[in-house]
């Protein structure tokens, strides 16, 4: 549908589905939503699975060059912003040594639409908007997140652009509580409703869990008390909350690129409750991962921190793997069979 700044996604489904495309890295849950106490029994394991029926449902993927517009909601220290910006800038930087964030994104690029167009290889950091005063309050519903996006694209001064490849990343600081945060979700993605925002725009929300539930949303940099004999990994950027956010951001961007309107790539028969390409690899960061085990990670020789991908400016990050549609198992650039 034509709109300011270029051609936008149009709404293919008239009925508004629940915002169910959400994720939490820990603890694993069974089909009923209850905590799975059998830590070694996770179905989201590294190896190939005959039970995974990931299917294409004929909707679009983000095939045009992608521009990520961060919306900083709440108080954000400069160093935390720099870490997240560095990750976003790393998604397309081919000069970073392997295993890199760009190498990780190549698995996401394998997903295509009905015209055989792949997810874009180009992901750029776009314009940003800050709402340090929390104009919508410190407690937000899921629908409030769409209002935060609307405020950013309709602001009187320096509104975020509404463009063809734009996606909008709402990042809430530690003092902000979002509906179901920590209890059920650490982040989610969906698309805005024209009745709320004026446009249909892919967006995602991710919260900083450092004060509320790092053992849930920043795992493995914090470990639940009920997990025995497990020490937390040292975060590669020295901030468990933000380093944990980076992996959730990666998760949501991968799924937003491959399933932006909830009608492209997912497993399961209900688009309101899909299992998407990163959900299938929940909690897996390296070879052998599954259950409570992250898989084999890399270790920074100076700081002792754990990571699995390199980024721009010498940064390092720990991001979960995603499902490879050709190999039919979880894949990442730090896999032992990649070297």
Average pLDDT on 209-237 reads: 94
| Number of domains making up the chain | 1
pLDDT of residue 227: 86
Whether the pLDDT of residue 321 is over 90: the answer is yes
Average pLDDT on 200-226 reads: 96
Nearest to 242 by CA among 170, 337, 141, 171: 171
Weakest-pLDDT range from 104-113, 123-132, 222-231, 248-257:
222-231
pLDDT of residue 234: 98
Q: Is residue 37 part of a domain?
A: no
pLDDT digits (tens, 9 = 90+) for 255-269: 999 999 999 999 988
Nearest to 54 by CA among 329, 260, 285: 329
Q: Is residue 14 part of a domain?
A: no
Q: Is residue 1 part of a domain?
A: no
Average pLDDT on 90-97 reads: 98
pLDDT of residue 184: 83
Q: Is residue 57 part of a domain?
A: yes
pLDDT digits (tens, 9 = 90+) for 55-72: 999 999 999 999 999 999
Weakest-pLDDT range from 28-32, 59-63, 80-84, 185-189:
28-32
Q: Is residue 2 part of a domain?
A: no
Q: Is residue 202 part of a domain?
A: yes
Residues of the domain holding 310: 20-26+49-338
Q: Is residue 142 part of a domain?
A: yes
Q: What pairs with residue 181 in β-bridges?
A: 185
Round to whole Å and give the CA distance between 215 and 209.
9
Average pLDDT on 123-152 reads: 98
Position 25 confidence tier, pLDDT thresholds 50, 70, 90: low
Whether the pLDDT of residue 3 is over 70: the answer is no
DSSP string, 285-339: -STT-BTTB----EE-TTT--EESEE-GGG-EE----EEETTTTEEE-TT-GGG-
Position 24 confidence tier, pLDDT thresholds 50, 70, 90: low
Is the separation of the CB atoms in 166 and 126 below 8 Å? yes
Whether the pLDDT of residue 303 is over 60: the answer is yes
Whether the pLDDT of residue 78 is over 60: the answer is yes
Whether the pLDDT of residue 19 is over 50: the answer is no
Q: Are strands 123-125 and 66-73 parallel, antiparallel or unpaired?
A: parallel
Q: Is residue 32 part of a domain?
A: no
DSSP H helices, the chain, are 78-90, 101-109, 142-153, 214-217, 240-258
């Amino acid at each position: 549908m034509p709109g300011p700044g270029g051609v936008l996604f149009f709404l293919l489904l008239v009925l508004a589905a629940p915002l169910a495309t959400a994720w939490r890295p820990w603890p694993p849950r069974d089909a009923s939503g209850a905590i799975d106490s059998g830590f070694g029994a996770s179905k989201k394991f590294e190896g190939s699975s005959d039970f995974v029926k990931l299917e294409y449902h004929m909707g679009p993927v983000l095939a045009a060059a992608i521009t990520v517009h961060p919306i900083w909601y709440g108080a954000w220290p400069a160093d935390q912003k720099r870490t997240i910006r560095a990750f976003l800038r790393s998604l397309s930087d081919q000069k970073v040594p392997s295993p890199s964030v760009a190498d990780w994104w190549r698995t996401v690029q394998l997903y295509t639409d009905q015209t055989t167009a792949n997810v874009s290889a180009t992901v750029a950091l776009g314009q940003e908007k800050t709402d340090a005063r929390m104009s919508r309050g410190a407690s937000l519903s899921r629908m409030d997140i769409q209002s935060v996006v609307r405020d950013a694209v309709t602001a009187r001064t320096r509104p975020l652009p509404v463009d063809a490849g734009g996606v909008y990343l709402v990042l809430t600081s530690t003092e902000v509580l979002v509906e179901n945060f920590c209890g059920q979700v650490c982040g989610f993605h969906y698309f805005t409703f024209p009745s709320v925002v004026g446009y249909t725009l892919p967006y995602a929300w991710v919260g900083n869990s450092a004060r509320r539930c790092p053992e849930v949303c920043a795992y493995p940099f914090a470990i639940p008390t009920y997990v025995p004999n497990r020490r937390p990994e040292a975060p590669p950027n020295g901030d468990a909350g933000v380093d944990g956010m980076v992996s959730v951001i990666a998760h949501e961007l991968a799924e937003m690129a491959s399933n932006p309107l909830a009608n492209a790539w997912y497993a399961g028969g209900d688009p309101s409750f899909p299992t998407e390409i990163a959900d299938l690899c929940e909690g897996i960061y390296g070879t052998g991962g599954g259950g409570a085990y992250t898989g084999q990670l890399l270790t920074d020789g100076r700081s002792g921190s754990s990571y699995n991908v390199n980024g721009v400016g010498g940064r390092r990050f720990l991001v979960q793997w995603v499902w490879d549609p050709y190999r039919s198992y979880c894949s990442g650039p730090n896999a032992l069979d990649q070297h």
